[in-house]
Structure 1
Amino acid sequence: MFTGLITAVGEVTAVSQTEAGRELVIAARYEGLTLGESIACSGVCLTVRDFAAGQFTVGAVVTTLDRTHIGAWRVGTKLNLERAMALGDRLGGHIVQGHVDGVGVVERAERRDDAWIVDVRVPDDIDELLVPRGSIAVDGVSLTVVELPAPNLMRLSIIEHTMRHTTLGSLRAGHRVHLEGDILAKHLKRLAAPLLKS
């Protein structure tokens, strides 16, 4: 379980294909890592397979690769990182599982006064979960949906702190991003489905 509040920006330093899937070595300033712990890497919950000073190794299996754009990550790719919550941590963002629901595509990214406004084209199943002022995780970052200007399009306003401490300040038109809908919205959608059919 995560909060969507990024604690480090890491960088992919090696990529290989192993029996564990697509294996990635990620440089990060984390200390005290343990084997088997979960780290959200740009919104994808991955398991630490190995670690050394200043780096850790994770693997992404085919089912993860099918749902994400990890297959495009190369040496030098920057990643938003967050270690799993510990009991008693503050929940400053929203409940994020690190289970990516789909991939969105940035349609527009531009500065408006003191904010970075980003429009993202989203798949149908994620669009159904969105409400203005609701929560969404974008590349693992907990954000608020500012508005829904058109079907399958959400507008985000990125604050200066988030731009400085995550990779979102580098978003441009055409960039692909991992999306995770709000878990409460997903459960409500599932519970309401039988009622909407009748």
Structure 2
Amino acid sequence: MFTGIIEEKGTICERESTSLRIKANEILLGTRTGDSVAVNGVCLTVVDLNRDSLKAEVIHETLRLTNLGGLNIGDKVNLERALSFSDRLGGHLVSGHIDGKGRIIKKRREGNALLFSFSLPEELTRYIIKKGSVAVDGISLTVTDVQRNSFSVSIIPHTLSQTILEEKSVGYEANIEVDVIGKYVEKLMASKEKGLSSNFLLEQGFL
């Protein structure tokens, strides 16, 4: 699990068919082979480390379903180490399993913040609520508005300086992870219609 608080921006320095090598600094501290890191919000496993970079495995399905498939050498990415039990939860619980990609359809300045609007299928916006949380390229953000096929977030200067979104323009596709709590609530509500049983709870992963 992650918090959606980006620790640093890394740089893609090597790309192979099923792996990415990322130049980084802060997230290398305490990281070991086998650990999980979030790259643009995608949970990946570290398979190699040296003093200034890490290598993470990426399966073809992940490359297809997320924006990692479009990364090139020199591109910047958001990085976060996995949450430990002693960490403070500054954002919200982020699993690192991307639900879909949202395209920037509007970007404008509001005071000292930037407002971004993203298009997203209704099958995902149903889990997004105003003033709720959503992860955009791994960044925990508060929703300012939600429509049938879009949602908006306002990003403060500090968050912009620590992440890659400020440099992105209309048309960019970001990785979106909706709040997992909404999915659990939907499953539990559905259980009322078919009857809550130990078998149902087992099927849905609650037992």
**TM-score, normalising length from structure 2?**
0.89
Amino acid at match of 1:108: K
Distance 2:73 2:193 in 1: 47
Q: Is the 8 A contact 1:103 1:123 kept in 2?
A: no
1:94-124 Cα offsets, whole Å, 9 max, x none, are 0001010111100011111111000000122
SS of the aligned residue for 1:90 comes to coil
1:2 — aligned with what?
2
Q: Decide which of 31, 36, 56 is 2:54's aligned counterpart.
A: 56
1:43 — aligned with what?
41
1:156 and 2:117 correspond: no
Q: Decide which of 130, 133, 138 is 2:131's aligned counterpart.
A: 133
Distance 2:30 2:88 in 1: 20
1:23 and 2:19 correspond: yes
1:96 and 2:64 correspond: no
Distance 1:4 1:125 in 2: 22
Amino acid at match of 1:175: Y
1:170 — aligned with what?
167
SS of the aligned residue for 2:64 comes to helix
Amino acid at match of 1:174: G
Determine which structure has the larger helix proportion and give its number.
2
Pairwise mapping of residues 53-92 of structure 1 onto structure 2 (< 5 A)?
Answer: 53-92=51-90
SS of the aligned residue for 2:130 comes to coil
Moved over 6 A (4+): none
2:118 — aligned with what?
120
Structure 1: gaps (5+ residues): none
Identity %: 37
Shift of the alpha carbon at 1:77?
Answer: 1.2
Shift of the alpha carbon at 1:62?
Answer: 1.9
Distance 1:123 1:179 in 2: 11
Amino acid at match of 1:50: D
Q: Decide which of 183, 188, 195 is 1:186's aligned counterpart.
A: 183
Amino acid at match of 1:185: G
Q: Is the 8 A contact 1:109 1:171 kept in 2?
A: no
Amino acid at match of 1:179: I
Distance 1:85 1:67 in 2: 24
**Considering only CA atoms, is the larger Rg found in Structure 1 or Structure 2?**
2
* Cα RMSD (Å): 1.4
**TM-score, normalising length from structure 1?**
0.93
Question: Does the C-alpha gap of structure 1 residues 97 and 163 become closer, same or farther in structure 2, counting only changes over 3 Å?
Answer: same
Amino acid at match of 2:6: I
Structure 2: gaps (5+ residues): 195-207
Determine which structure has the larger strand proportion and give its number.
1
1:11 — aligned with what?
11
Amino acid at match of 2:162: H
Shift of the alpha carbon at 1:194?
Answer: 5.2
SS of the aligned residue for 1:63 comes to helix
